[in-house]
Amino acid sequence: MALTTLSFETPDALTDAFAQDLVSILKTGIKTRGRASLIVSGGRTPLALFKQLSETELEWDKVDVTLADERWVEEGHEASNTSLVKNNLIQNKAAAARFIELKSDADDANEGVNAAESNLASMSQPFDALILGMGEDGHTASLFPCSEQVLDGLDMSSGRTCIAVQPTTAPHQRISLTLPALLNSRNIFLHLTGEKKKQVLLDAIDNATEAQKPITAVVNRAPVTLMWAP
Ligand SMILES: O=C(O)[C@H](O)[C@@H](O)[C@H](O)[C@H](O)COP(=O)(O)O
């Protein structure tokens, strides 16, 4: 387990440093491979980071952006991570970034998995940067401990990069990147704020199985930088 914790005085200080780190990583990807790829998570935590990145100078037309997971709702729905990213990150200077859709018009996420995997395969891999969040139940992306699909999502030999997930403690069917897909990233960040989530993470690392707290499956297998502020 290789968890490096960077603690900041305030969420704003975290946002400033995090945006600079990500832009530096993406610049390296563009310089080295011609394009860079960024995977972001939804939720409330990354909103300020998205806004700051959108205002930051970068050859955004050479950056592919997608989500670690998406709720299976129409774009424009309040729960849509696609809307969250398009309205807050892919704006301003970052408006030229290419967004790779996980959501399609299929009625059910299970029917949308193949198209999501195909779209994901169009991105340069390994991904240059992955930003994960975590719920207080230890879920990350949409690898939910409460879901019947969690073991499939954590299966390192599944050959799948996306799965459909039906959590029981959170609304909406989802598409989530699988553990092998998430780990296929050069730089993995876990973006948390607040004492509670930090304690949930540390307790999970010490006491939980990967199925109980899926975030530990990531921390156990790759170097992860925890970006944390109170
Ligand atoms: O679609 C999602 O909701 C995210 O991918 C999810 O994994 C999120 O990162 C955590 O639930 C934390 O969400 P908050 O930042 O809102 O606490």
Q: What is the pLDDT of residues 98-142, one digit of tens each?
A: 999 999 999 999 999 999 999 999 998 999 999 999 999 999 999
The ipTM assigned to this model is 0.97
Of 18, 45, 163, best ligand 1 pocket probe by most atoms within 8 Å of the beta carbon: 45
For ligand 1, atom 4, name the residue with the nearest CA: 42
Per-residue pLDDT at 36 exceeds 80: yes
Whether residue 141 has its Cβ less than 6 Å from ligand 1: yes
Q: Tell whether domain 2-229 is in CATH 3.40.50.1360.
A: yes
> For the chain, what are the domain ranges?
2-229
Of 39, 69, 201, best ligand 1 pocket probe by most atoms within 8 Å of the beta carbon: 69
For ligand 1, atom 13, name the residue with the nearest CA: 43
Sign of CA dihedral 46, 47, 52, 54: positive
Per-residue pLDDT at 1 exceeds 80: no
Q: Can you tell me the distance from the alpha carbon of 7 to that of 59, in angstroms, rounded to the nearest whole number?
A: 29
Tens digit of each residue's pLDDT (9 = 90 or more) over 43-102: 999 999 999 999 999 999 999 999 999 999 999 999 999 999 999 999 999 999 999 999
Residue 163 Cα to chain centre, angstroms: 14
- CA–centroid distance, residue 32 to ligand 1 (Å): 31
In the block, residue with structure tokens 């799948």: 160
